Amino acid sequence: MGAVSLPSKGGKKSLEAEVNLVPFIDLLSMCICFLLITAVWVQTSSIDVKQSHGTSAAAPNPSQKYEMEVRFTAPTALGVTLKTTKGGVIKSTKFAAATIEELANQFDAGLGSLIGTVVKSQNGLAVDPSTVISSATVAPNAKVPYGHMVAVMDKLRKNKLVNLGVLPQ
């Protein structure tokens, strides 16, 4: 409790009032807790995202010349098309297997040769594939399980393709 005492004037009785500080302390502690909690959420709410397709806000990189499209034709079959950014097809390949593990291994082996096709065309220099292939999009159909799509995207990331996207059908 806090007390406030005012001096009396001219023989009048002194005024003394007690102020209850407990509600003020409760309010102040709640404000501090709210400030600390919201400061943490402001920090974690920002995510760095690059957009490879869509609007004019796409991640610019003028040195990149090729795009890769991976289209599922069945849960364990897919077609890969490597094309220029203007739409000209460079190379097209199909992969099929009995299980997703076999498909992922075939895709990983074939992806190396596909990437090698465009990397070797860069004056014979060793080039990072992400600087030559601007984006890779995966287009699953309705029958493809989510895990199959993720397995293919993992193989793309393993081969240093970083701008990945998913095209709905």
Q: What is the pLDDT of residues 66-116, one digit of tens each?
A: 888 888 888 888 888 888 777 778 788 888 888 888 888 888 888 877 777
Domain 66-166: which CATH number of 3.30.360.10, 2.40.50.140, 3.30.420.40, 3.40.50.360: 3.30.420.40
The crossing angle, in degrees rounded to 10, of helices 100-120 and 146-158 is 30
Q: For residue range 14-48, what is the model confidence (pLDDT) as tens digits? A: 677 788 889 999 999 999 999 888 876 655 544 45
* Cα dihedral 85→91→96→100 (10° resolution): -40
Domain boundaries, the chain: 66-166
Tell me if 85 sits within 8 A of 67, measured CB to CB: yes
